Every structure is written in structure tokens, then in C-alpha cells.
Amino acid sequence: MNTKDIYDIGQRIRQNVLKVIVGKADVVDLLLVALFGGGSVA
């Protein structure tokens, strides 16, 4: 798995989450950064 694969997965996750959480793209982006970075989200 290379960097492009990870980017593509992240974009697909982002697009699908934004279908449910409308108008909060910045929050979704921060959530994905925390999850991909190995941090916890509470």
C-alpha cells in the first residue's frame, strides 16, 4: 500500500461521511487526521 492508496481511501471515507454530516467538512477533516495519525477521538 503506497501513499496514493492511503490518500484515495481517505477521500472515499471523507466523501461518504460528508453525505451524512452535511456542512461540517472542517470537522470531518480533523477527525480523519486524528484517526489516520493514530490518535484517539473522544
**Ranges of each domain in the chain:** 3-36
The predicted structure's pLDDT at residue 1: 86
Angle between helix axes 25-36 and 3-20 (nearest 10 degrees) is 140
The predicted structure's pLDDT at residue 8: 94
pLDDT digits (tens, 9 = 90+) for 1-38: 899 998 999 999 999 999 999 999 999 999 888 888 88
Q: Rounded to two decimals, what is the model's pTM? A: 0.75
**Of 36, 31, 27, residue with least CA distance to 7:** 36
Angle at CA of residue 30, ends 24 and 33, nearest 5°: 140
- Is residue 1 within 8 A of residue 9, CB to CB? The reply is no
